[in-house]
A = this chain, B = another copy of it.
Amino acid sequence: MSNNIYFTPGPSQLFYTFEEHLKKALSLDIPSLSHRSSTFIKIVEETNEALKELLQLPDGYDIYFLNSANEAWDRIIQNLVSERSHHFTNGSFSRKFYDFAIQHGKKSSITEASDGDSYTSWEVPADTELIGITKNETSVGYSLQETEIAELRLQNPNSLIALDIVSASPSVPVNFSNIDTAYFSVQKAFGLPSGLGVWIVNTKCHELAQRKKLTTSIGSYRSLPNLKKFGDKNQTPETPNMLFIYLLGKIAQDMLGVGISKLRNDTAYKAAILNQSIEDHPLLSHFVNSKQHRSKTTIVAKSGKSNELIEFFNKKGLILGKGYGNHKGDHIRIANFPTHSKESIEMICDLFLQIK
């Protein structure tokens, strides 16, 4: 790798043990193995176990491998929504899930707040089959609180809740008992290259997909019943991205080695010093007004000089993220993932002091 450090919110800096595991994977011929071999079945099992432990998944939640969070939106709608979903959106990614539902011909509804704003209502239409919410809106750095998700669960016992945990897990705690399905891509907090997605579903999702299948098509190789059929044997329907499944498992094991408490405490510490830097700086201000909703993993600052600031860091090999979509030119996004050391975040804070 070069001497650059990527603080872009995904693709981002590779996890610090990535190269070591990659070398090992090649020495073990992982990319040449049969995906039906006992060696690869064991790899799937180990990756599943490490992820379940790291995410603290309750019993009754299964893990399947997709290729992106985009694909998770696709498969959730195909498998779990017949007529309508409801989406809470206050940024580009939460809105995209709604767009996908519409493209699939669903009569979906939306509670839309301006980018980075809090929701003023949590009302959900009575016939909603699935509610889409976002733990960490990566485009603007807005984070839902666990109490809000718990309340949504209480108020909507009959709808499925789908939680986007892209760039949130495993860095912040999520109580999976409050949701039915969740998904992430590995190029964010897990520090892998892009090309692998993880889909978590509970028994209610399996039952619903089975029922839906009786009356309509829910897809083919990656229908939920088919994923379950193979997944129950630690297999995948098709030849998957075997190399990245292996690497994800190894990185999840490394994170368990660090300890989930330490990893989350470090995340909170790094977020706190970055937030303080933004507050103290004459050229920066927080984009998300509600303090309690500011993301710990995607720190977003407004600045009239964001391009110059990004360029200043660029020249030092510290690659910060630009604003997403319409916010390009006005925002700086700084990823705070497990691979980003305290020292590297402290360095950013120190450098901010040099700019006036």
Determine the interface band of chain A, counting residues with CB < 8 A from chain B.
35 or more
Among residues 216 to 246 in chain A, which have CB atoms less than 8 Å away from a CB atom of chain B? 216-217, 219-223, 237-244
* Given contact pairs A11-B32, A31-B14, A194-B242, A74 touches B216 in the complex (Cβ within 8 A): no
Among residues 48 to 72 in chain A, which have CB atoms less than 8 Å away from a CB atom of chain B? 67-71
Is there a chain B Cβ closer than 8 Å to A312's Cβ? no
User: A11-B34, A74-B219, A241-B241 provided; 10 other pairs, C-beta below 8 A?
Assistant: A1-B26, A11-B31, A11-B239, A31-B193, A67-B71, A68-B239, A100-B220, A193-B242, A193-B243, A195-B196
* Given contact pairs A2-B28, A68-B239, A217 touches B105 in the complex (Cβ within 8 A): yes
Is there a chain B Cβ closer than 8 Å to A47's Cβ? no
Is there a chain B Cβ closer than 8 Å to A171's Cβ? no
Is there a chain B Cβ closer than 8 Å to A94's Cβ? no
How far, in whole Å, are A244 and B192 apart by their CA atoms in the complex? 13
Is there a chain B Cβ closer than 8 Å to A275's Cβ? no
* Given contact pairs A1-B26, A8-B34, A103-B220, A70 touches B194 in the complex (Cβ within 8 A): no
Is there a chain B Cβ closer than 8 Å to A104's Cβ? yes
How far, in whole Å, are A69 and B237 apart by their CA atoms in the complex? 12
Q: Is the interface of A mostly helix, strand, loop or mixed?
A: loop
Verify A195–B244 contact, CB threshold 8 A. Answer: yes
Q: Which of A237, A240, A243 has the most CB of B within 10 A?
A: A243
Is there a chain B Cβ closer than 8 Å to A29's Cβ? yes
Verify A241–B73 contact, CB threshold 8 A. Answer: no
How far, in whole Å, are A346 and B273 apart by their CA atoms in the complex? 64
How far, in whole Å, are A193 and B29 apart by their CA atoms in the complex? 10
Closest residue to A28 on the B side, CB-wise? B2
Q: Chain B nearest CB: distance from A169 CB in Å?
A: 17
Verify A32–B19 contact, CB threshold 8 A. Answer: no
Verify A2–B27 contact, CB threshold 8 A. Answer: yes
Among B6, B29, B222, which residue has its beta carbon within 8 angstroms of that of A4?
B29
List 15 A-B residue pairs with CB atoms under 8 Å apart, sorted by A's residue number: A4-B32, A11-B33, A11-B35, A31-B193, A67-B241, A71-B238, A74-B222, A100-B221, A103-B219, A103-B220, A187-B239, A193-B242, A194-B242, A195-B241, A241-B241
- Give chain B residues whose Cβ lies under 8 Å from the Cβ of A192: 31
Verify B238–A70 contact, CB threshold 8 A. Answer: yes
Is there a chain B Cβ closer than 8 Å to A323's Cβ? no
Among residues 148 to 192 in chain A, which have CB atoms less than 8 Å away from a CB atom of chain B? 185, 187, 192
Nearest 8 interchain pairs by C-beta: A195-B241, A31-B193, A70-B238, A105-B217, A6-B32, A100-B220, A67-B67, A103-B220
Verify A238–B32 contact, CB threshold 8 A. Answer: no
Verify B68–A193 contact, CB threshold 8 A. Answer: no
Among B104, B195, B220, B222, which residue has its beta carbon within 8 angstroms of that of A219?
B104
Q: A65-85 toward B: CB 8 Å interface, digit per residue (1/0)? A: 001111101100100000000
- Give chain B residues whose Cβ lies under 8 Å from the Cβ of A28: 2
How far, in whole Å, are A253 and B144 apart by their CA atoms in the complex? 47
How far, in whole Å, are A14 and B29 apart by their CA atoms in the complex? 9
How far, in whole Å, are A8 and B32 apart by their CA atoms in the complex? 8
- Give chain B residues whose Cβ lies under 8 Å from the Cβ of A143: none
How far, in whole Å, are A14 and B73 apart by their CA atoms in the complex? 32
- Give chain B residues whose Cβ lies under 8 Å from the Cβ of A241: 67, 193-195, 241
